[in-house]
Each structure stands twice: as structure tokens, then as C-alpha cells.
Homo-oligomer: A and B are copies of this chain.
């Protein structure tokens, strides 16, 4: 499917310039290290080789009357550890017990050897020099002892948790899914567009937004009475007590917000360059304390001109399959760890999704099927035409009825956004959602309304101001085309892939109500 080679730490990396080494600086060290991934990928080739390795001790033990330390060291290049054998008789080093403490960093040189006797190690490093050891100052205080730790406990140590097996595996998978995303869209002729984070419009015409301001710091600097701004009294200024706040003095001279979606900014680029995608952070100031919501999360949003609903259903399906296949190819070791520790079906799910055609049914068909199922299954929300499908309905469709991904299309106009194209039946819009087992909705998309008059009416019907959408209407006034796009919630994809339950574990620094640590 792809002619792009995998990023592979075991493969020869790009040549790093070292044409002009500076002799009054320490010589470069990074290039002298061998990644553990490279060693484990070719143990026979490395047997007998002298290497330098750097990493952190995951577990260590001291044996043979305190004279030999066995350190399981990880450097992040892969899930597995390399066993380092440090013999106190041969190597000057810190006390072995300290070296063996979980969390210690080591940079060592030695010779690799394949153990001859009964050993679970495929290869180990006989250390003959400890070049650096970063000790754990106070082992009792180190928050990550070698026992297995709960994920919710780790959320209080966002700066240390990437040293754990689970969070490290998530980091590698997240990185691979990032690159797989760029590869997929670049290969298919899409341009990556960096849509803005700070925006003065609101994609949905709804949804809670964060405001971006410098008024507080201005006020703090300017001391008390400079700004004519009283939040508690909410006066425009001294003359005009109409209840609104005045933002003339704010950085952007008006209210500005964090984006909730790149779509409205991607459309102008699609309506000029045909195929674009965004991949960036988006924000919702919703007071949701669930395991499925974040205030800051990443979205992938392709947008295509000369494309209709069926086109984006095809691209959405291909993209999801591409991601699943990529993980199976590039992250199988991490996936196996997830299967062992978190979700037995994680690999099976990826395999199934990457090879099975997605079911495609209309919203109306979906409602009929769910109504029929109500004999067997009691839903919390009663099923009837017109409702927004709840997670329980979505998961029942994909997990029970079809046992595979399902694309539901043509949703009722009343539950969807103004920009979705009105179908000829006047009751539905050309929207589609991709539902997958485990997480329900993974992707939402639509054909966009390209007809000027209908779009205007839909904006007004939604209670929005035409003035705010003049730029958007211009795209329909001047050379309008059928165009369509979708959005994939990147953390949802990670929940789907890893099998983890809490979205706060699949993003490095989760932001939630009352929580923005570090």
C-alpha cells in the first residue's frame, strides 16, 4: 500500500553532519551510542561487538555476594530492556546497590555476548566501563519504584511517567500514528495546513470556548485604575453600562478564543488547493470530568474539494485501515505488551479493522436496527428517529450488530451543524460518522453546503450572524465547489489502539477542569 519505508532505529539513520567538530568542546557522544532496539533487532550480528549504551535502570539486582549487578536497562528506543552485567572486580563504579536502583541512568561501554547458559536474555552486555551514572538521590523518595503502578497514581507524576512501560509504549504508538497520519495524507496529495489556534470565529456556533487575553497581566502591570474594566460589574466603560465587557485594550483588540476545530480555516485552503489536512490541538472548555473528555486534544482534519460524502467515507475508511496496519507493522512489540497487560483483544481488533470492509448504513437504517434490537437490549436513551445517537447506540451497532466498523450517514438536519450539506429530502444532511468497537465514534465528517443561498439560510436558522461568516460565504460566491471533510479525534484513535480506558493516559500532559499540571 505504501512505498514509504518505516522509520526504524535499526536501519542506518540519516547521516549526521560532523564536518566541523569543534575541539574546545566535549566530543559528540550521541553518535557513539547504539540504540537497544538496533541490538535486539540483530543479536547475532552484535554478538562480540563493542558498544556504548545509555539508558535508565528499570530493575536491578546485585548477586554473587554483592560483587555483580544485573541491570535491566531501557533507552526508550523499544519496549524491551537490555541486560547489563557489571562486575565490581573489573569496573570502577558507584556502589552496585546504588547503580541497581530503579531510575538510575547509566552510560556504559562493553562487549555484547549471547549468554551460553540457561538465561532468558537473548543477548547481554558485559560492562567494562561505567562512563556516567545518574543516581537516584533518595531511592525511598523516588515516586516510581519497580512495582507495577496504577495509571491513576501515575497521573500525579506526568514528568516521570514516561519512564513506565505503559506510558512509554503509548508514547511510541502516538509518535508512530503521527507519522502514519502525515504519510497517508502526503502520499494522497494532501497539503498539511497549519490552521490557527487563536481564532475570532467559532466553528460550531456553539460549544464552550476558552478565551485568550492579556487583560489580566495588563491590569497587574498597570496597577489598579488604569483599565476601565470591571468584571464583576461587567461594564463596557464608565459611560455605557450595558453589561458587556470591553476588549478594546486586549491584545487582539477584540475577544479571541482557542479554536474548537480547524475546519473553517481549512476550507479556504481546500477551495484553492483541492486537498489539505490539518493536524493540531483543539480546545473545549466543557466542564466534563469523564474518562473520555479533555479540554485540549488533537484532531486530524482533512478537507477535499471536488469530493462528496462517498469520497470522504472512502478516505476515512482507508485512513483508519492505514493507521491500524501501520501499528501492526511498526509497534507490534508495544501492542503485545498492551495485550498482556491491558486489553487481550487489542491486536485482534487492529487486524480485524485493517482487513474488513466497513459496513455503511444510513442513519434511518441504523435507527430501524436499534429499534428492532430493543427486544434484546435495554438502552438508557430511547431510540427514535431524530435523536443523536448516544455512545451506547454507537457501540451496539459496531460491537454487537455488525462486529466491525460501521459508517452511519445522512443524519437528521436538526442534530447537525449548519455547514453540512442539506439533502434533497430536506430532512437530512450529508454527514457521516465512523463508529468502531471500543470507542464508538472515531470520525465525524460531512459534505459541506456549497450553495450560497441555502448556506445563508442555515446560518440564520442556527441563530448565528451572517456577518461572522462573510469569509465563509465568499467561498460560495466565488468559484464554489462540492467539498467535504472529516475529523478524527487523535486520542480516541489511541484509546481504540491501546485498549486503555482513560483518555488522560494517551496524551502526555492532559488538561481537564481544574487540572493543567506543569
**Whole-angstrom distance between the alpha carbons of A226 and B472 in the complex?**
37
Q: Name the contact of A252 in the complex, choosing from B158, B178, B513 (C-beta under 8 A).
A: B513
> Which B residues touch A225, using CB under 8 A?
232
Copies in the complex: 2
> Which B residues touch A217, using CB under 8 A?
208-209, 211, 285
**Which of A20, A30, A136, A472: most chain B Cβ within 10 A?**
A30
Q: Does A148 contact B (CB under 8 A)?
A: no
Q: Does A422 contact B (CB under 8 A)?
A: no
Report yes or no: A478 in contact with B136, Cβ–Cβ below 8 A.
yes
Q: Name the contact of A515 in the complex, choosing from B4, B13, B209, B252 (C-beta under 8 A).
A: B252
- Near B by CB (< 8 A), chain A positions 205-226 give 208-217, 219-220, 223-225
**Whole-angstrom distance between the alpha carbons of A50 and B136 in the complex?**
70
Q: Does A379 contact B (CB under 8 A)?
A: no
Report yes or no: B54 in contact with A305, Cβ–Cβ below 8 A.
yes
Report yes or no: A273 in contact with B76, Cβ–Cβ below 8 A.
yes
Given A189-B9, A318-B17, A518:B199 Cβ within 8 A: yes
> Which B residues touch A308, using CB under 8 A?
25-26, 28-30
Given A189-B35, A306-B33, A54:B256 Cβ within 8 A: no
> Which B residues touch A307, using CB under 8 A?
28-30
Given A182-B179, A212-B212, A196:B508 Cβ within 8 A: yes
> Which B residues touch A254, using CB under 8 A?
516
**A72 CB, nearest partner CB in chain B, Å:** 14
Q: Does A31 contact B (CB under 8 A)?
A: yes
Q: Does A105 contact B (CB under 8 A)?
A: yes
Binds B, one of A118-126, A342-350, A356-364, A456-464: A356-364
Given A4-B4, A174-B192, A273-B76, A30:B304 Cβ within 8 A: yes
> Which B residues touch A362, using CB under 8 A?
22, 24
Q: Name the contact of A132 in the complex, choosing from B7, B138, B209, B482 (C-beta under 8 A).
A: B482
> Which B residues touch A31, using CB under 8 A?
311, 314
Report yes or no: A103 in contact with B478, Cβ–Cβ below 8 A.
yes
Q: Name the contact of A136 in the complex, choosing from B30, B197, B479, B511 (C-beta under 8 A).
A: B479
Binds B, one of A62-70, A274-282, A437-445: A274-282
Q: Does A234 contact B (CB under 8 A)?
A: yes
Q: Does A186 contact B (CB under 8 A)?
A: yes
**A243 CB, nearest partner CB in chain B, Å:** 7
> Which B residues touch A336, using CB under 8 A?
none
Report yes or no: A194 in contact with B14, Cβ–Cβ below 8 A.
no
**Whole-angstrom distance between the alpha carbons of A409 and B275 in the complex?**
42
Q: Does A198 contact B (CB under 8 A)?
A: yes
Q: Does A416 contact B (CB under 8 A)?
A: no
Q: Name the contact of A310 in the complex, choosing from B27, B227, B452 (C-beta under 8 A).
A: B27
Q: Name the contact of A281 in the complex, choosing from B208, B229, B252, B281 (C-beta under 8 A).
A: B281
**Whole-angstrom distance between the alpha carbons of A137 and B304 in the complex?**
22
Q: Does A322 contact B (CB under 8 A)?
A: yes
**A480 CB, nearest partner CB in chain B, Å:** 4
> Which B residues touch A436, using CB under 8 A?
none
Report yes or no: B273 in contact with A516, Cβ–Cβ below 8 A.
no
> Which B residues touch A209, using CB under 8 A?
217
Q: Name the contact of A54 in the complex, choosing from B306, B474, B517 (C-beta under 8 A).
A: B306
Q: Name the contact of A179 in the complex, choosing from B192, B197, B480 (C-beta under 8 A).
A: B192
Report yes or no: B33 in contact with A518, Cβ–Cβ below 8 A.
no
**A74 CB, nearest partner CB in chain B, Å:** 9
Report yes or no: B5 in contact with A285, Cβ–Cβ below 8 A.
no
Report yes or no: A285 in contact with B251, Cβ–Cβ below 8 A.
yes
The 8 lowest CB-CB distance pairs between A and B, nearest first, are A76-B273, A7-B186, A19-B357, A162-B272, A105-B479, A54-B306, A134-B480, A175-B191
- The 29 sampled A-B contact pairs (Cβ below 8 Å) are A3-B11, A7-B189, A13-B189, A14-B187, A14-B322, A18-B314, A19-B317, A20-B357, A25-B308, A25-B309, A26-B309, A29-B310, A30-B306, A56-B272, A103-B478, A105-B271, A107-B306, A107-B481, A137-B452, A171-B193, A174-B191, A174-B193, A179-B186, A194-B508, A197-B258, A198-B283, A198-B511, A209-B217, A211-B216
Known interface pairs A30-B307, A158-B268, A197-B197; 16 further A-B residue pairs with C-beta atoms within 8 A, sorted by A's residue number: A15-B318, A19-B358, A20-B360, A29-B310, A105-B481, A160-B272, A175-B191, A195-B508, A197-B283, A197-B296, A211-B212, A213-B216, A216-B255, A251-B513, A253-B514, A280-B281
